[in-house]
C-alpha cells in the first residue's frame, strides 16, 4: 500500500543505501557488453555541494542511469581533487586559530595535519553527492593524491622533461604576496578599479626633464630605462641620452620602442623590467637590467634606498608621491579606471615577479588538441564553445606548473651544489644521476615546490584507470564517452585533459564534452557569499525532495550559458512528483497490477489503444532529446505527458470503466493502466530516481527499477504502434469535452448542473463516436443525456470541427451574454478568413509556396468558413428568439 503522500526524505534515505549496496553502480567490465564511460569532474576535497555541482551531477546521473537501463556496462568514476591552494589555506587558517603555525612546524608536520584533516572532513562533499541520488561506482573512487595517481603525475613530468616539454625558466609570473606562490594566468581576476595616473618628471643627465606617466609610482625604484616611440618627433633627440632616476640616482637610458604609444600619457614610458610584463619584454629588447625591488610579501627590498626599504608597496607609493610633490617632480594626476589583477584565491592584488619556475610547453601540446576538435573526433556541446576552445589554444602561453606550496605533488627534481637539476623518480635515482654527472657523491636538495593542481587533474581520464600500469579499466574505458562540466573550467581542465590524453595515451580522453550553464539566482546574478544570494541545494532537497531539485535543474538545462534558478520552479516540480504519486495511488486503488505476459498492443478499447500509442511516442521523444543532450526538452515532454495526458485525460477516461460493471473492460484497462504507469516510471527514472523507484517497487512487487530494462520501443527509428481510429477518436473526444466545458464556463453555468446535449446533424462518424464515448463524455462534461435529435429553442451551440452540438443550459439563457460570446467568436473567425483568403489570392503564394503549405491554408480557410456559417446561423436564431 502506498502512503497517502510521498515522503521524499524517508524514501531517499531508504533507497540510496539499497542501490549502493546492491552493486548496480559497479560495472562488470567483462565480456562483450557495450560499455559507457564517464569521468566525474572531481570536486575539491574542501568543497561543499553547491548548485553547480548539483546541476552537472544531475545531468551526468541522468545519462548514466539511462545508459545503464539500456543495458550498457557503465563506468562512472567518482573522486575528489586535492586542491592544493584551497586546502592548504583552509588547514593553515584552522591551525593558526589553534596557535600552530605552518612555518614553525615545518613541511612534514604540516602535511600530517592536512592529511588528518582530509581523512576527517574531506569526505563531506562525497556524502552530499549521495543525497543527490547519483550513481557512480563508489568502489572506484579516486583522490588525486592517491599513490597510483601520484605515480602517474611523476611519470608524466619526467617524460615531459625528457622530451624537453617541461623546463625550468626565469620569467615574470603573477605572484601572490599573501599566499607566497606563483599563480597561473587563469587564476587572475582582472577587476575594473578607480585609480590615478600620475605624471612624474625625471631630470635628464644633460639638463632638463623628461615626464613619464604611471599608475604605480613605487615601481620607479626599479626603473632601468625610459621608452619613447621611434617615430615620436617630440622625443627623437632624447633617444640614447640618459635620465637620472630620482631617489636612486641611477642613470637610465632613453630607448626607442614600439611599445610606447605616443597617444597615451606623455608618450614616455618608464621601464621596470622586473615588475611589469610589457616592460620585461622591452627590457629584453634593449638589454636593460631587471632589478627586483620587492620581497615575497611585496615589501620594498634591499635594492631600494632608505627610507623606502622594508615598506609595504602601497605605503611606499604614498611616501614616494609626497616626496616627489615636495621636490616639484610630480606634475600631474588624472583619475582613471583601469583593471587590476587580483588573485582569485586570496583576493589580493598580484605582483608581477621575476622568479624561476617550472613550465610546460603548452604550445606544442596544444597542436594535437586543436586538431581533434577540428576533425570532430571530440564534439563540444553546445557547438559554439569550439570558437572559445580554438582561440585560447591557438594563443596559448607556456603553462607555469610549479607552486610554492606544500600540499600537493612535490616536484621530483633534485639540485646539486651547483644547482644542476636531476629529474628522477626518487632520490635514489637522482643520486645515481648525480654521481654520474659529478663523478662523486654529492648532497642533493629536492625542489621545495609542488605541481599546480590542474597538472594532476589533467591526467584524470587515465590516471584514475591505473595508468601507467596496464589494466582492464584502461583497456575498456579509455577513451571515455562523455564529460559533463561547467564551462568555467574549459581552459583549466578540459583542454589540458585533451593535451595530456593525446600526448600520453595517443588518443582523445572523451568523445563528447557537454558544457553546463552557470547557475545564477532568479535575477540572473552570480551567486556569491558576499551578495548573500547563494542557494544551498541541500536546503532544497530537504524542503522539496531530491527529485524535485533534479527535475528543476534538468528542466533549466537548455542551450544558454546561464541558468537562472528560482524557488517556485522547484516547488512546481515537487507538486509534479506528488501528482505522479497520486496517479499511482489511483491505479493501486483500482487493482491495476502488472501482468508480464500482457501485450499492450492487444488492447481493444480506444482509450487503451490511445494511451499505449501516446506513451510510445513519448518514449521516442525522450530518447531523441537525450541523444541531443536537450535535458530541458526531455523534461518538458515527460511533464506534459504525465500531467497533461495521463493524469488529466487517461485516468479520467478509466473512471466510468472502473466504476462500471463490465469486467472484461475492467481487466483490460487495469492491465493497460498498470503497464502505462510502468512505462512512465521507466522513462522518468533517470530524472526522478527516487519517486519512480519507490512506485515501481510497489507496482512490480519489489523489482528494482534502477536495474530494469529501458523500453525497447523508446529508441529512435523503432516503429511505433498506431491505431488511427482510436487516436483520432480520442482526440475528438478531448476536443468536445473541452469545448463544452468552455461554453459552460462562459455562460456561468454552475459546475454541478447536469445538462442535456443535442446533436441532429446526422454525421455518421459523430454518431458512432457519441455512442462509443457517450458515457465518459457525459461524466467529464457534466452532460445528463445525449439526444440524437433536433434541438428545442434557445439552445447554446457548441462548435467542434464541422459539427454543431446544442447545449441546453436551463430555463434562463442570458441572451446578451450569449450574443457577445458568439459575436466575439465570429469576429476572430472573420479575421482569420480575411488573412487566409488574402494569402490564397496572391498568385505568388499559390505558385511559389510548397503545395502542402498551400493545401493546409486552403483547408484552414474552408474550416473557418464553415465555422463562420454555423456561428451566423446560431446568431440569427438568437436574434429571432
Partner RNA sequence: GGGCGCUUAGCUCAGCGGGAGAGCGCUACGUUGACAUCGUAGAGGCCACUGGUUCAAUCCCAGUAGCGCCCACCA
The one among 207, 240, 335, 395 contacting RNA by CB under 7 A: 395
Q: How far apart are CA 703 and CA 678, in angstroms?
A: 12
Whether residue 171 contacts residue 493, with contact meaning beta carbons closer than 8 Å, is answered with no
The one among 51, 156, 321, 563 contacting RNA by CB under 7 A: 563
In this structure, the number of other CB atoms found within 10 A of the CB of residue 657 comes to 21
Smallest gap from residue 828 Cβ to RNA (A): 10
Q: Which three-class secondary structure state does DSSP give residue 775?
A: helix
Q: Which three-class secondary structure state does DSSP give residue 540?
A: helix
279 vs 693 by CB, closer to RNA: 279
409 vs 487 by CB, closer to RNA: 487
64 vs 329 by CB, closer to RNA: 329
Q: How far apart are CA 102 and CA 260, in angstroms?
A: 45
Q: How far apart are CA 537 and CA 55, in angstroms?
A: 10
Whether residue 59 contacts residue 41, with contact meaning beta carbons closer than 8 Å, is answered with no
445 vs 745 by CB, closer to RNA: 745
Rounded to 5°, angle at Cα 436 from 431 and 441: 50
Alpha carbon separation from 301 to 172, 297, 748 (Å, rounded): 17, 10, 88
Smallest gap from residue 374 Cβ to RNA (A): 16
For residue 732, state whether it binds RNA (rule: CB under 7 A).
no
In this structure, the number of other CB atoms found within 10 A of the CB of residue 186 comes to 15
Smallest gap from residue 849 Cβ to RNA (A): 3
The one among 241, 364, 578, 715 contacting RNA by CB under 7 A: 578
Convert residues 66-105 into a mask of x (bound to RNA by CB under 7 A) and - (unbound). Answer: ----------------------------------------
Residues 782-841 that bind RNA (CB under 7 A): 782
Total number of residues that touch RNA (CB under 7 A): 97
380 vs 411 by CB, closer to RNA: 380
For residue 411, state whether it binds RNA (rule: CB under 7 A).
no
214 vs 402 by CB, closer to RNA: 214
Q: How far apart are CA 678 and CA 710, in angstroms?
A: 11
234 vs 589 by CB, closer to RNA: 589
Residues 357-386 that bind RNA (CB under 7 A): 384
Q: How far apart are CA 183 and CA 233, in angstroms?
A: 41
For residue 704, state whether it binds RNA (rule: CB under 7 A).
no
434 vs 553 by CB, closer to RNA: 553
Strands 242-244 and 399-400: unpaired
Residue 796's closest CA among 847, 849, 755, 838?
A: 755
262 vs 416 by CB, closer to RNA: 262
Considering only 67-75, 307-315, 566-574, 866-874, which stretch makes contact with RNA by CB under 7 A? 566-574
Considering only 84-92, 162-170, 431-439, 740-748, which stretch makes contact with RNA by CB under 7 A? 740-748
The one among 794, 845, 858, 868 contacting RNA by CB under 7 A: 845
**Residue found under cell 626518487:** 426
Smallest gap from residue 868 Cβ to RNA (A): 13
For residue 868, state whether it binds RNA (rule: CB under 7 A).
no
Whether residue 722 contacts residue 772, with contact meaning beta carbons closer than 8 Å, is answered with no
Considering only 127-135, 201-209, 335-343, 427-435, which stretch makes contact with RNA by CB under 7 A? 335-343
The one among 94, 168, 171, 216 contacting RNA by CB under 7 A: 216
Considering only 95-103, 119-127, 387-395, 463-471, which stretch makes contact with RNA by CB under 7 A? 387-395
Q: Which three-class secondary structure state does DSSP give residue 737?
A: helix
The one among 716, 842, 869, 873 contacting RNA by CB under 7 A: 842
Helical H segments across 479-630, by residue range: 495-500, 537-544, 546-556, 567-589, 606-627
Convert residues 156-195 into a mask of x (bound to RNA by CB under 7 A) and - (unbound). Answer: -----------------------------xx-x-x-----
For residue 201, state whether it binds RNA (rule: CB under 7 A).
no
Q: Across-strand partners of 181?
A: 176
Smallest gap from residue 137 Cβ to RNA (A): 33
Q: Across-strand partners of 226?
A: 254, 270
The one among 745, 760, 765, 789 contacting RNA by CB under 7 A: 745
Convert residues 245-284 into a mask of x (bound to RNA by CB under 7 A) and - (unbound). Answer: ---------------xx-xxx-xxxx-----xxx------
Tell me which H or E stretch contains 376.
Answer: none
Residue 722 dihedral angles phi and psi, to the nearest 5°: -150, 140
> Cell numbers at residue 513, please?
564534452
Whether residue 684 contacts residue 696, with contact meaning beta carbons closer than 8 Å, is answered with no
For residue 531, state whether it binds RNA (rule: CB under 7 A).
no
Smallest gap from residue 577 Cβ to RNA (A): 7
Residue 35 dihedral angles phi and psi, to the nearest 5°: -115, 165
464 vs 555 by CB, closer to RNA: 555
> Cell numbers at residue 783, please?
452532460
User: Exposed, middle or buried, 366 (CB in 10 Å: 0-12/13-18/19+)?
Assistant: buried
Smallest gap from residue 263 Cβ to RNA (A): 6
350 vs 365 by CB, closer to RNA: 350
Residues 453-492 that bind RNA (CB under 7 A): 488, 491
Q: Which three-class secondary structure state does DSSP give residue 39?
A: strand
Residues 497-526 that bind RNA (CB under 7 A): 520, 522-524, 526
For residue 18, state whether it binds RNA (rule: CB under 7 A).
no
The one among 123, 148, 416, 572 contacting RNA by CB under 7 A: 572
Residue 109 dihedral angles phi and psi, to the nearest 5°: -65, -45
**Residue found under cell 553547480:** 52
Smallest gap from residue 375 Cβ to RNA (A): 20
Residues 601-660 that bind RNA (CB under 7 A): 632-633, 636, 639-640, 643-644, 647-648, 651-652, 655, 659
For residue 333, state whether it binds RNA (rule: CB under 7 A).
no
Tell me which H or E stretch contains 227.
Answer: strand 225-228
DSSP state of 441: -
Whether residue 652 contacts residue 780, with contact meaning beta carbons closer than 8 Å, is answered with yes
The one among 9, 355, 564, 868 contacting RNA by CB under 7 A: 564
Smallest gap from residue 831 Cβ to RNA (A): 10
For residue 331, state whether it binds RNA (rule: CB under 7 A).
no
The one among 244, 720, 742, 760 contacting RNA by CB under 7 A: 742
Residue 809's closest CA among 728, 865, 744, 874?
A: 744
The one among 589, 722, 735, 831 contacting RNA by CB under 7 A: 589
Q: Residues near 26 by Cβ (< 8 Å), separated by ≥ 6?
A: 137, 139, 140
Sequential DSSP letters for 65-120: HHHHHTT-EEEEE-EEB--HHHHHHHHHHHHHHTT--HHHHHHHHHHHHHHHHHHH
Amino acid at each position: 500500500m502506498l502512503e497517502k503522500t510521498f515522503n521524499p526524505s524517508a524514501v531517499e534515505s531508504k533507497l540510496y543505501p539499497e542501490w549502493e549496496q546492491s552493486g548496480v553502480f559497479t560495472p562488470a567490465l567483462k565480456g562483450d557488453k557495450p560499455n559507457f564511460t564517464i569521468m566525474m569532474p572531481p570536486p575539491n576535497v574542501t568543497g561543499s555541494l553547491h548548485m553547480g555541482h548539483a546541476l552537472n551531477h544531475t545531468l551526468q546521473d541522468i545519462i548514466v542511469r539511462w545508459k545503464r537501463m539500456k543495458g550498457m556496462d557503465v563506468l562512472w568514476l567518482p573522486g575528489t581533487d586535492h586542491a592544493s591552494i584551497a586546502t592548504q589555506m583552509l588547514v593553515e587558517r584552522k591551525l593558526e586559530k589553534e596557535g600552530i603555525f605552518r612555518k614553525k612546524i615545518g613541511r612534514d608536520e604540516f602535511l600530517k595535519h592536512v592529511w588528518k584533516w582530509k581523512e576527517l572532513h574531506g569526505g563531506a562533499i562525497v556524502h552530499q553527492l549521495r543525497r543527490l541520488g547519483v550513481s557512480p561506482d563508489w568502489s572506484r573512487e579516486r583522490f588525486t593524491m592517491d599513490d597510483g595517481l601520484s605515480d602517474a603525475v611523476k611519470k608524466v613530468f619526467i617524460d615531459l622533461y625528457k622530451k624537453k616539454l617541461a623546463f625550468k625558466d626565469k620569467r615574470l609570473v603573477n605572484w601572490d604576496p599573501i599566499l607566497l606562490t606563483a599563480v597561473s594566468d587563469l587564476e587572475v581576476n582582472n577587476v575594473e578599479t578607480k585609480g590615478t595616473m600620475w605624471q612624474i618628471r625625471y631630470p635628464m643627465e644633460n639638463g632638463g626633464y623628461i615626464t613619464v606617466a604611471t599608475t604605480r609610482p613605487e615601481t620607479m625604484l626599479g626603473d632601468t630605462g625610459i621608452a619613447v616611440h621611434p617615430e615620436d618627433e617630440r622625443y627623437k633627440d632624447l633617444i640614447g641620452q640618459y635620465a637620472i632616476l630620482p631617489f636612486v640616482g641611477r642613470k637610465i637610458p632613453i630607448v626607442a620602442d614600439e611599445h610606447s604609444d605616443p597617444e597615451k600619457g606623455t608618450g614616455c614610458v618608464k621601464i621596470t623590467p622586473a615588475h611589469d610584463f610589457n616592460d620585461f619584454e622591452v627590457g629584453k629588447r634593449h638589454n636593460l637590467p631587471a632589478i627586483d625591488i620587492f620581497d615575497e610579501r611585496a615589501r620594498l627590498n634591499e635594492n631600494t634606498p632608505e627610507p623606502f626599504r622594508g615598506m609595504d608597496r602601497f605605503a611606499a607609493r604614498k611616501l614616494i608621491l609626497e616626496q616627489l610633490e615636495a621636490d616639484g617632480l610630480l606634475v600631474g594626476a588624472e583619475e582613471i579606471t583601469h583593471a587590476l589583477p587580483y588573485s582569485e584565491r586570496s583576493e589580493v592584488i598580484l605582483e608581477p615577479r621575476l622568479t624561476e619556475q617550472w613550465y610546460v610547453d603548452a604550445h606544442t601540446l596544444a597542436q594535437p588538441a586543436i586538431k581533434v576538435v577540428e576533425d570532430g573526433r571530440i564534439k563540444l556541446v553546445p557547438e559554439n564553445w569550439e570558437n572559445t576552445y580554438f582561440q585560447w589554444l591557438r594563443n596559448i602561453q607556456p603553462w607555469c606548473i610549479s607552486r610554492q606550496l606544500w600540499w600537493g605533488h612535490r616536484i621530483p627534481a633534485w639540485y646539486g651544489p651547483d644547482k644542476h637539476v636531476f629529474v628522477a623518480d626518487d632520490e635514489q635515482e637522482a643520486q645515481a644521476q648525480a654521481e654520474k654527472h659529478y663523478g662523486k657523491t654529492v648532497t642533493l636538495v629536492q625542489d621545495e615546490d609542488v605541481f599546480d593542481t590542474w597538472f594532476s587533474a589533467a591526467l584524470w581520464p587515465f590516471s584514475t584507470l591505473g595508468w601507467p600500469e596496464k589494466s582492464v579499466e584502461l583497456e575498456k574505458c579509455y577513451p571515455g564517452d562523455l564529460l559533463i562540466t561547467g564551462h568555467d573550467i574549459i581552459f583549466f581542465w578540459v583542454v589540458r585533459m585533451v593535451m595530456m590524453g593525446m600526448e600520453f595515451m595517443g588518443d582523445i580522453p572523451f568523445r563528447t564534452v557537454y558544457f553546463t550553464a552557470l547557475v545564477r539566482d532568479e535575477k540572473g546574478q552570480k551567486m556569491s557569499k558576499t551578495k548573500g544570494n547563494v542557494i544551498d541545494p541541500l536546503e532544497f532537497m530537504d524542503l522539496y525532495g531530491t527529485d524535485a531539485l533534479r527535475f528543476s535543474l534538468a528542466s533549466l538545462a537548455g542551450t544558454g550559458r546561464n541558468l537562472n534558478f528560482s524557488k517556485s520552479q522547484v516547488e512546481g516540480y515537487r507538486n509534479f512528483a506528488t501528482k505522479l504519486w497520486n496517479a499511482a495511488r489511483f491505479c493501486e486503488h483500482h487493482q491495476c497490477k502488472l501482468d508480464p505476459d500482457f501485450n499492450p498492443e492487444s488492447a481493444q478499447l480506444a482509450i487503451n489503444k490511445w494511451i499505449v500509442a501516446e506513451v510510445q511516442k513519448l518514449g521516442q521523444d525522450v530518447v531523441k532529446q537525450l541523444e541531443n543532450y536537450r535535458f530541458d526538452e526531455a523534461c518538458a515532454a515527460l511533464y506534459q505527458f504525465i500531467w497533461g495526458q495521463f493524469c488529466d485525460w487517461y485516468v479520467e477516461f478509466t473512471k466510468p470503466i472502473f466504476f462500471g460493471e463490465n469486467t472484461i473492460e475492467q481487466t483490460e484497462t487495469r492491465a493497460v493502466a498498470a503497464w502505462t504507469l510502468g512505462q512512465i516510471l521507466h522513462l522518468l527514472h533517470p530524472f526522478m530516481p527516487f519517486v519512480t523507484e519507490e512506485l515501481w517497487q510497489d507496482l512490480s512487487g519489489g523489482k528494482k527499477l534502477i536495474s530494469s530494462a529501458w523500453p525497447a520501443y523508446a529508441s529512435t527509428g523503432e516503429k511505433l504502434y498506431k491505431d488511427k481510429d482510436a487516436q483520432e477518436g480520442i482526440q475528438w473526444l478531448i476536443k468536445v469535452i473541452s469545448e463544452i466545458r468552455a461554453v459552460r464556463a462562459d455562460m456561468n453555468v454552475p459546475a454541478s448542473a447536469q445538462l442535456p446535449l443535442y446533436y441532429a446533424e446526422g454525421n455518421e462518424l459523430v454518431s458512432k463516436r457519441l455512442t462509443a464515448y457517450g458515457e465518459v463524455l457525459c461524466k467529464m462534461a457534466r452532460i445528463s443525456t445525449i439526444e440524437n435529435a433536433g434541438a428545442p429553442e434557445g439552445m447554446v451551440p457548441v462548435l467542434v470541427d464541422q459539427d454543431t452540438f446544442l447545449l441546453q443550459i436551463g430555463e434562463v439563457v442570458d441572451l446578451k451574454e450569449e450574443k457577445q460570446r458568439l459575436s466575439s467568436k465570429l469576429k476572430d473567425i472573420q479575421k482569420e478568413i480575411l488573412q487566409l483568403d488574402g494569402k490564397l489570392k496572391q498568385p505568388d503564394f499559390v505558385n511559389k509556396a510548397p503545395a502542402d503549405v498551400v493545401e493546409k491554408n486552403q483547408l484552414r480557410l474552408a474550416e473557418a468558413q464553415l465555422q463562420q456559417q454555423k456561428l451566423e446561423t446560431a446568431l440569427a436564431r438568437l436574434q429571432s428568439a
